[in-house]
């Protein structure tokens, strides 16, 4: 991406919308600061300060209005791309599922490069697309969150790839202050509480349900443990019902949405960060930015061995990888870290160093 020339970067979401994926994409764009970069992103609903954010960036940001059909999205992107080349041809030859994926873009001029964000595409989808020649790669680059996926595609199809590490600016968190409501809710007995934490959308893939199922065993050995669940989602009521059914509701706290301004306190106050992500159909964890965020705050992490999580967590180095379908393995990993403070500290220290060395 350091080649001279202009780049068009088409994304499905972008700041000032808050979230890990948004910061991931923004970090990539910030890393391309020496390039003539234009970002094509949707105009978010019910988000304030979009124009102020866009005007304050070094990159140019073009916003698409929401509510378009798939055909409308492709036509809108094609019109935008027309500004960047003397001639072009754009064809719809695939699917748009969740992301604005322009699946075949042919630019007659090589003055510009096109990058499509495919941060949640599964290997099976990518393989199918490649075999069916539905993705044009002659003049386009695809940014994948997983080095493993990139390598497999290289072996199967000979497509070269470059590892471009995540570049989120983590240091700004040092300046942010604590959230008093969280302090009141979680840390009334801070000296004797061990905090296990997940911050993620409440969807099946993120694995909060499996951690809740692991909690009875964890509490047998560590009754002082509290599982803090941040975020919102369609599964919240089911998760609360599951906690009640298993009799662990007193040791589980749902703290709701966590803003970017509050993230630093949440990471600082937890003892272990866990996200037991698992594959649900074609829905798979692309990377797991939260593992890096927790690592920056020197927290040991537990991750589900699924998708791109193996790129984010070094098993035995910065955290522990487990079978995300096994509450037993999850419980064993949590108990091991709660039992062995030296191990937890070692993994957390290594996690921070990895972030500083490889991702900043």
- Bridge partners of 6, per DSSP, are 36, 112
Q: Is the pLDDT of residue 175 over 50?
A: no
Specify burial of residue 192 (Cβ count, 10 A radius: 0-12, 13-18, 19+). exposed
Q: Is the pLDDT of residue 226 over 60?
A: yes
CA distance 21 to 11: 10
CA distance 321 to 304: 6
Tokens of 321: 């990888």
- Local confidence band at 138 (pLDDT 50, 70, 90 cut-offs): very low
Q: What is the pTM of this model?
A: 0.65
Q: What is each CA distance from 122 to 129, 130, 244, 322, in whole angstroms?
A: 11, 12, 34, 20
- What pLDDT score does 127 carry? 47
- What pLDDT score does 10 carry? 78
Dihedral of CA atoms 275, 276, 278, 284 in degrees, nearest 10, equals 20
Residues 272/196, Cβ–Cβ less than 8 Å: yes
The domain defined by 172-358 folds into Rossmann fold (3.40.50)
Percent of the chain clearing pLDDT 70 (strictly above): 63
Weakest-pLDDT range from 32-41, 65-74, 186-195, 312-321: 65-74
- Domain 6-157, CATH 3.30.1370 — does that match? no
* Higher-confidence position of 103 and 49: 49
- What pLDDT score does 43 carry? 87
Q: Is the pLDDT of residue 95 over 50?
A: no
- What pLDDT score does 26 carry? 84
Helix-helix angle 147-157:123-131, to 10 degrees: 30
- What pLDDT score does 122 carry? 43
Hey, how many other C-beta atoms are within 10 angstroms of the C-beta on 136?
Answer: 19
Residues 230/195, Cβ–Cβ less than 8 Å: no
Give the number of C-alpha atoms closer than 13 A to the C-alpha of residue 293, restricted to the C-beta side: 29
Give me the chain's average pLDDT, please.
74
Residue carrying the six token digits 């003055």: 111
Mean pLDDT within 25-31? 79
Helix-helix angle 236-245:208-221, to 10 degrees: 30
Give the number of C-alpha atoms closer than 13 A to the C-alpha of residue 171, restricted to the C-beta side: 4
Weakest-pLDDT range from 175-189, 216-230, 246-260, 325-339: 175-189
Segments making up each domain of the chain, as ranges: 6-157, 172-358
């Amino acid at each position: 991406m350091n080649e001279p020339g202009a780049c068009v970067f088409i994304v499905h979401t972008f700041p000032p919308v808050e979230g890990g994926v948004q910061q991931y994409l923004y970090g990539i764009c910030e890393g391309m600061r020496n390039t003539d970069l234009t970002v094509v992103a949707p105009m978010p609903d019910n988000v304030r300060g979009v124009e102020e954010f866009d005007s304050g960036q070094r990159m140019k940001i073009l916003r698409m209005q929401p509510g378009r059909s798939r055909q409308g999205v492709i036509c809108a992107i094609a019109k935008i791309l027309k500004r960047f080349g003397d001639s072009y041809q754009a064809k719809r030859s695939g699917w748009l599922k969740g992301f604005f994926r322009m699946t075949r873009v042919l630019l007659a001029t090589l003055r510009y490069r096109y990058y499509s964000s495919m941060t949640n595409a599964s290997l099976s989808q990518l393989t199918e697309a490649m075999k069916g020649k539905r993705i044009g790669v002659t003049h386009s680059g695809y940014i994948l969150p997983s080095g493993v996926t990139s390598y497999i595609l290289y072996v199967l199809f000979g497509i070269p790839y470059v590892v471009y590490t995540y570049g989120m600016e983590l240091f700004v968190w040092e300046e942010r202050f604590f959230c008093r409501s969280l302090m009141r809710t979680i840390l009334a007995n801070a000296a004797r509480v061990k905090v296990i934490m997940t911050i993620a959308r409440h969807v099946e893939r993120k694995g909060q349900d499996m951690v809740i199922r692991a909690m009875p065993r964890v509490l047998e050995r560590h009754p002082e443990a509290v599982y803090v669940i941040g975020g919102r989602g369609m599964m919240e009521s089911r998760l609360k019902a599951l906690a009640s059914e298993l009799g662990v509701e007193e040791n589980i706290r749902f703290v709701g949405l966590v803003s970017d301004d509050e993230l630093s306190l949440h990471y600082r106050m937890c003892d272990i960060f866990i996200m037991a992500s698992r594959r649900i159909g074609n829905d798979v964890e692309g990377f797991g930015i939260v593992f890096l965020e927790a690592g920056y705050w020197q927290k040991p992490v537990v991750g589900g061995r699924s998708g791109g999580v193996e790129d984010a967590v070094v098993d035995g180095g910065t955290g522990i990888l487990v079978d995300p379908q096994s509450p037993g393995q999850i419980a064993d990993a949590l108990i091991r870290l709660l039992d062995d403070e030296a191990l937890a500290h070692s993994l957390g220290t290594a996690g921070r160093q990895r972030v500083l060395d490889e991702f900043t």
